[in-house]
Amino acid sequence: MQYFPIFLDTSELNCLVVGAGEVAARKVELLLKTSAQVTVVAPWACSTILRLVEQQKIVLHERPFTDSDLDAKQLVFVATNDSHLNANIHALAKAQKILVNVVDNIPLCQFITPSIIDRSPIVIAISSGGVAPVLLRYMRQKLESLLPHKISLLGQFSEKFRELAKQKLATVTARRFFWEDVLDGDIAENVIAGNDALAEQKLLAKLEHDASHTQAGEVYLVGAGPGDPDLLTFKALRLMQKADVVVYDRLVSPEILELVRRDAEKIYVGKAKSNHSVPQENINELLAREALAGKRVVRLKGGDPFIFGRGGEEIETLVAQGINFQVVPGITAANGAASYCGIPLTHRDHAKSVVFATGHLQDNTINLNWKGLAQADQTIVFYMGLTGLATICEKLVEYGLPASTPIAMIQSATTAKQKIVVGELSNMVAKVAEAGIQPPSLIIVGSVVSLQSKLQWFKQS
């Protein structure tokens, strides 16, 4: 992130705009939405600037720029056609630690003006760093359509009761829970509809209730999917944004972790191949302990919590201690990997069934029902099978599958790092070694793999 987004207090901000054409006028009009004092310097001025002068909204000096114009200024916009003058003002302002923006010249901008959605006191600013203005307009259009124009009323309403809520509710967590419920429920709907009296009555009643009742904690077991953030469910995203604590593993991609509430505590309990950094029993107790402290805890898991995700073990602990929980399914790695590689797990001409198996048991063996797995017209998906690949190929052939049976190994499925190796049971070990496949990876065995080259659609590394 090259540009750090901040909101400046403009109550005592003195701004200088050099130039008085229509480009400069747009910056002036934007500044006039704030409390800033605006001074314009230019040898001539367009009609928009002159009108603002007549309305006594700005001060205009109709003359060339001089160095002293920077005195007592904290923010400068430069919008002239003189590139030498623009560069000179930039250098002078920078030397005096004054924030400066030379319009349409990114290298000479210490700050950039974002695209703004104004629902004061609610203001949303978005930016592309100056590189994609059309995309920025598109995003603003989408956001404008999502935000009610009366959302400003909610901001004013919240401000009115902010101090009272602070007095009544002792902790930051309790206040956050309170306001989330207010904004998610009928109190907010009444505010937007203009029923302020009813909204205030309901809010005060809720405030008294919450002040006298301890908020119970809860655990959400959330499937983060196979890696692509676009594959998260709406519910998963909503709960991730509500969490006080997020307990996550190494299969949760950085892009997905970015979607977690910014000030939530994040606890990493990742497990690498043959290296369990936090024992499962400790994770179970961690979830329970945080919930018993009254927190909303998201247990964020790659794939789906109930498919080789140990979700069942974790909620057994929660049930034993009487802790409320929810389970949010996710797209499991098998579905994600198969779909993004062009391998249908079932197909009328290739597979009548599909079975999921683990390539790594709790005792570090691969003691599976090989006879049941090695069936014709069946797709087999092995989770965590990289270490045991040689054994998997050997056993499937031993129990009846032809050595020519197609097999695929997929690394980092659904992400930009996705990599797929396709071969046969007889040669797959050598192919995977040559390709340098690393965890996380998943194995698909069966005739359906032969369709991969024809149905592949996702561009991989």
Is the pLDDT assigned to residue 151 strictly greater than 60? yes
Range of the domain at 448: 334-455
- Residue 215 has a pLDDT of 79
- Residue 461 has a pLDDT of 58
Catalytic residue among 244, 249, 301, 419: 249
CATH number of the domain at 83, please.
3.40.50.720
Reported as a pLDDT band with limits 50, 70 and 90, residue 226 is: very high
Of all residues in the chain, what percent carry a pLDDT higher than 90?
77
Tell how strand 245-248 and strand 218-223 pair up.
unpaired
- Residue 362 has a pLDDT of 56
Q: Is 349 left (phi over 0), alpha (psi -120 to 50) or beta?
A: alpha
pTM of the model: 0.75
At 237-256, the pLDDT tens digits run: 999 999 999 999 988 988 99
Catalytic residue among 168, 242, 271, 273: 271
CATH number of the domain at 395, please.
3.30.950.10
Q: Which of 442, 425, 283, 290 is nearest to 360 (CA)?
A: 442
Same domain, 207 and 248: no
- Residue 324 has a pLDDT of 95
Q: List the structure tokens of 396.
A: 């499937």
Chosen domain end from 284, 306, 331? 331
Reported as a pLDDT band with limits 50, 70 and 90, residue 269 is: very high
Chosen domain end from 331, 351, 384? 331
Is there a catalytic annotation at residue 249?
Answer: yes
Instruction: Specify if 119 maps to a domain.
Output: no
CATH number of the domain at 182, please.
1.10.8
Mean pLDDT of the chain: 92
Instruction: Specify if 144 maps to a domain.
Output: no
Look at 366 and 202; give whichever has higher pLDDT.
Answer: 202
- Residue 444 has a pLDDT of 98
Is the pLDDT assigned to residue 303 strictly greater than 90? yes
**Mean pLDDT on 394-405:** 96
Same domain, 84 and 183: no
Reported as a pLDDT band with limits 50, 70 and 90, residue 389 is: very high
Instruction: Specify if 126 maps to a domain.
Output: no
Same domain, 445 and 400: yes
- How far is it, in rounded angstroms, from Cα 100 to Cα 108? 8
Same domain, 85 and 48: yes
CB 269 within 8 A of CB 298: no
At 337-379, the pLDDT tens digits run: 999 999 999 999 999 999 999 987 555 567 899 999 999 999 9
Q: Which residues pair with 275 in a beta bridge?
A: 272
Same domain, 184 and 104: no
CATH number of the domain at 229, please.
3.40.1010.10
The secondary structure of 404-433 as a DSSP string is T-EEEEEESTTSTT-EEEEEETTTHHHHHH
Binding-site positions for S-adenosyl-L-methionine read 226, 302-304, 307, 332-333, 384, 413
Same domain, 402 and 298: no
- Residue 63 has a pLDDT of 96
Same domain, 300 and 342: no
Provide the number of structural domains found in the chain: 4
Same domain, 39 and 76: yes
Place of tokens 């997020």: 246
Instruction: Specify if 143 maps to a domain.
Output: no
Is the pLDDT assigned to residue 273 strictly greater than 80? no
**Mean pLDDT on 113-138:** 86
Same domain, 445 and 342: yes
Instruction: Specify if 347 maps to a domain.
Output: yes
Chosen domain end from 54, 87, 113? 113
